[in-house]
C-alpha cells in the first residue's frame, strides 16, 4: 500500500498499523472500514464505501462515503442509516486480538 500511496499521490496521510493499536482504538472489524469525523472530531460516519460487492454488478463509485463527506462539508447532518463495511476481517497477530474480537 505504501507503493500505491506514492504511485497515486495520495493527498492524505497513509498509515501502516504495525502494532495494530490503531485498529483496536477505532474498534475496526474489517478492511476496508471507513471512519469520518466532523470538524469537532466527532465520529459522524462509520460504514461502507458504496453498495458494490464482488459479483453484484453494482459499480464502485464511493457514493455512501461521498454522501457523508458532502453532508459534513455542507454543514448538514450525516444520515443515521449507515451500512457497515463488508470486507475481509482483520487478521490479528497472535496475542493482539482485541477484547471485541470473537474467539
Sketch the domain layout of the chain as residue ranges.
28-89
Give the DSSP letter string of 80-100.
Answer: S--PPP-SEEP-PPTT---TT
Whether 76 contacts 84, CB under 8 Å: no
Can you give the pLDDT at residue 1?
76
Residue pair 35/26 in contact (Cβ under 8 Å)? The answer is: yes
What's the predicted TM-score (pTM) here? 0.77
Which tens digits make up the pLDDT trace of 15-73? 788 999 999 999 998 888 899 999 999 999 999 999 999 899 999 999 999 999 999 99
Cell numbers at 43, concatenated: 465520529
Amino acid at each position: 500500500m505504501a507503493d500505491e500511496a506514492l504511485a497515486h499521490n495520495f493527498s492524505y496521510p497513509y498509515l501502516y498499523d504495525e502494532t495494530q493499536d490503531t485498529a483496536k482504538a477505532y474498534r475496526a472489524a474489517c478492511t476496508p472500514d471507513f471512519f469520518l469525523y466532523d470538524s469537532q472530531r466527532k465520529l459522524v460516519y462509520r460504514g461502507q464505501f458504496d453498495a458494490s460487492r464482488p459479483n453484484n454488478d453494482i459499480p464502485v463509485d464511493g457514493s455512501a462515503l461521498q454522501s457523508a463527506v458532502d453532508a459534513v462539508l455542507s454543514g448538514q447532518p450525516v444520515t443515521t442509516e449507515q451500512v457497515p463495511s463488508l470486507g475481509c476481517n482483520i487478521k490479528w497477530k497472535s496475542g493482539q486480538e482485541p477484547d471485541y474480537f470473537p474467539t
